[in-house]
Amino acid sequence: MISSVLNSKPAIQVNIRIMRVSNQIRNAIIGSTDIRLEISEIKNVLAKQGKRHDEHDKNIELVFQYFDELSDNIKHPPLPPNRERVGYKIGEKKRDTER
């Protein structure tokens, strides 16, 4: 906090006020069972959501494994032997085109 670095009187007063307010908040949280219960409920909900996300991740990974197995099992028909290949011709000289 910048107020703890500065040595002016207002900065010192602000720093003292910040410390007092933070102590009041801490005491309010410790003393209030309602707030502690709500915090624990929020933690439980977040933990359950994390577990669900882990389960979803596992299911998605399983689906991709099935896709991989299916793609490995697909048999492609053989290509005709005299078929001209598509793509770059490696090792052939470039033909000059007439305009």
- This prediction has a pTM of 0.33
Rounded to an integer, what distance in angstroms lies between the CA atom of residue 82 and that of residue 89? Answer: 16
68-83 pLDDT, tens per residue? Answer: 888 777 777 777 788 7
Per the CB < 8 A criterion, the answer to whether 18 and 3 are in contact is yes
Would you mind telling me the total number of residues written for the chain in this entry? 99
Banded pLDDT at 12 (limits 50, 70, 90): confident
Q: State both tokens at 1.
A: 């906090």
* Per-residue model confidence (pLDDT) at position 39: 82
SS (H, E, C) the chain: CHHHCCCCHHHHHHHHHHHHHHHHHHHHHHHCHHHHHHHHHHHHHHHHHHHHHHHHHHHHHHHHHHHHHHHHHCCCCCCCCCCCCCCCCCCCCCCCCCC
pLDDT at residue 1 is higher than 70: no
Interval 10-26 mean pLDDT = 89
